[in-house]
A and B are shown apart, each in its own frame.
Chain A
Amino acid sequence: MSAANSAHSVVEPSGYAKLIASCLVALYAVISLVPLVWIGLTSVKSSTDSISYPPKVIPYVDFQPSIEGYCNLFSTRSRQTTEYIQSLPAPQGACESIARSRGMVVVGPSNYVPRYINSLIIAFGSTFLSIALGTAAAYAFSRFKVPLKDDLLFFILSTRMMPPIAVAIPIYLMYRELGLSDTRLGMILLYTSVNVSLAVWLLKGFIDEIPREYEEAAMIDGYTRLQAFRKVVLPQAVTGIVATAIFCLIFAWNEYAFAVLLTSGAAQTAPPFIPIIIGEGGQDWPAVAAGTVLFLVPILVFTVLLRQHLLRGITFGAVRK
């Protein structure tokens, strides 16, 4: 998406214009990243540093970094009397020491890890299913004469247009009848139904770009249609499939509305869980920030990987680059 063709000197902006443009863009980027940097900084502050006024900005200068946020994220603690704490054997590990210095003892792990694992299972499960279903459907829509093709494609897209809360009401009732409430399977099926529309639309675009002659040639060579699909089309579509898969993964990973309404315990994912990490007297911001950091890191990696296909993904394939 870069590749400036500088051959046309007439249209090339002047050096002065470029300098101003680069400064403004860099300024915007830096300002827009401040909240994210603040999440990272808050996650390594002690709870008192995190709510200090004026805000403490530079680690090791303004404040001593602390792993308290991460400790609190992964553990549950209970307040104890000083006498009881003094009667305990010496603390094991940094987290236990920090808790003791706050007059508390670690009583067990928190729910963050199970919620994170739920997020992983549901995101990957629904992505796998969406890609499997979406690739097949996209191939059929791309290559065959399907009756009412445009109407079916519009129906598939329109399912994505519904407000999630509107869909959540009947889904809630249906899942309650079927015993799918608060199950991973239920969430995987639900996210698949949302993602499959994106998968079909994006993958159809990618498969449209693979010349039909490839398969036709393979079929003249004696391949059946299915063999040609598997051995000729699929390998050609790998880039598109991977890009689509990452988009599905990001959606399922970030989704909140369905998760907060349809899961409460066993299948709860991380997004509804992170906001309810509370300490004594309100939200434990370093712990919330720590949970947010660990939750966002995979997405940052994916964003960089996806750079080339981002535009196509966010416009349902309407704009290709």
Chain B
Amino acid sequence: MTSHTDPAGLVSLPEGHQRASLPRVQTGLSDRAIAWLFIGPTMALLLAINLFPLLWTIFLSFTNYRANRPNAPLWNVGFDHYVAILTDPDIWLRMQATAHFVFWTIALQTVIGFGLAYLVDRKFRGHGFWTTLILVPMMLSPAVVGNFWTFLYQPQIGLFNYVVGFFGGIAPGSFQMLGDVTLSPWAIIIVDTWMWTPYVMLICLAGLRSIPDYIYEAAEVDRASNIRQFVSITLPMCMPFIMLAILFRGIENFKMFDMVNLLTAGGPGSTTELASITLKRAAFEAWRTGYSSAFAIILFVAVFGLANIYVKTLNKVKAR
């Protein structure tokens, strides 16, 4: 995927070094040895802290192991956990909640993010300053900021409820964003959209800027309307970038844990219990380690599938 490209014919020496004079002396390690020496430690760390645990999880997913009873007799339960998970209607409800969250966050972030990028690309005065300001939320800790949103969402005293009540003409204490089964899925979508729209905007902006001016100039010459230009040039040329942003957000939100754990912890009841929260409840509250390992593997396979698509898209974007 890499195919290194050297700028042709650019042979310049680092300062203070003159070519020639000395013949090349082959000292030191061979390239092959250096390659392994350089890559080895990284691979060792990843094998120890990523691959080995993954294999262990696969092993545990076929057992009745419980982390809070490490000395209980261990036996093989075969595919029981996998069957139990995939046939459990509750799990499918959790997956539906996850899908709802992923779908709406991506839809909102893509529309708002692309819109913002399109506006910023009008290159008005001070667009750099405003862009930087817009980017701030996505750099912050989702957990710490998500936690503060529980304060903004307080009925009666919360700023969010106050503002919505003020403009909507309803009493701020009359609705609970986090305690209501119909509103809480939207509460987490709002915070995620607030946080990550800048991310989509930034990628879309790169897409818009990658479109060469001469294409628009040609369209002007052909007297294509603005709408026509947008549909036939801007959108299609930006599409790989939008896809990239969607995939990234999709993967991230499929694994979403921190922000939602602090905002609702899956509640009320299980209405906002996304897959990662279910996993945490099974693994670290119910201590069903074997069962949760199987669930972890199922989720991992799903994300891995997404990751594969992602890398293919990424290469397409790179190839441009």
Contacts and interface: CB of A to CB of B under 8 A. Distances in A.
B140 A165 contact: no
Interface in A266-321: 270-272, 274-275, 283, 285, 288-289, 292, 295-296, 299-300, 302-304, 307, 310-311, 314-316, 318-319, 321
A314 to B, nearest CB: 6
Interface string A180-210: 0000000001101100110010001000100
A288 B56 contact: no
A85 interface: no
A182 to B, nearest CB: 14
Interface stretch (A67-75, A90-98, A103-111, A218-226): A218-226
Interface in B248-300: 248, 251, 254-255, 257-258, 261-262, 275-276, 279-280, 283-284, 289, 292-293, 296-297, 299-300
A144 interface: yes
Interface string B5-16: 011001111100
B135 interface: yes
B124 A21 contact: yes
B35 A217 contact: no
B120 interface: yes
A301 to B, nearest CB: 10
Nearest to A169: B283
A89 interface: no
Given A166-B300, A170-B56, A315-B248, A288 B147 contact: yes
Which size bracket describes the interface of A in this complex?
A: 35 or more
Given A218-B17, A225-B28, A283 B151 contact: yes
Contact of B42 (A137, A142, A216): A137
B300 to A, nearest CB: 6
A161 B152 contact: no
Most chain A CB neighbours (cut-off 10 Å) among B172, B220, B279: B279
Interface string A41-53: 0100000000111
B136 interface: yes
Interface string B143-163: 111011101101011010010
B28 A226 contact: yes
Given A208-B2, A289-B148, A254 B60 contact: no
B97 interface: no
A310 B134 CA distance: 13
B300 A163 contact: yes
A161 B141 contact: no
Interface of A: 1-2, 4-6, 8, 10-13, 17-19, 21-22, 24-26, 28-29, 32-36, 38-39, 42, 51-55, 133-134, 136-137, 139-142, 144-146, 149-150, 152-159, 161-174, 189-190, 192-193, 196-197, 200, 204, 208, 211-214, 216-222, 224-227, 229, 231-232, 250, 253-257, 260-261, 270-272, 274-275, 283, 285, 288-289, 292, 295-296, 299-300, 302-304, 307, 310-311, 314-316, 318-319, 321
Contacts of B4: 142, 208, 212
A185 to B, nearest CB: 12
A226 B152 CA distance: 55
Contacts of B120: 21, 25
B69 interface: no
Contacts of A137: 38-39, 41-43
Contact of A146 (B35, B128, B209, B251): B35
Interface in B39-70: 39, 41-43, 45-46, 48-54, 56-57, 60, 67
B137 interface: yes
B12 A217 contact: yes
Given A211-B10, A217-B13, A288-B148, A174 B141 contact: no
24 contacts: A2-B123, A10-B220, A18-B125, A22-B126, A25-B134, A33-B133, A35-B149, A52-B157, A137-B42, A139-B38, A144-B31, A150-B2, A158-B307, A159-B46, A165-B276, A193-B45, A213-B10, A217-B13, A222-B25, A225-B34, A257-B261, A275-B147, A292-B145, A321-B209
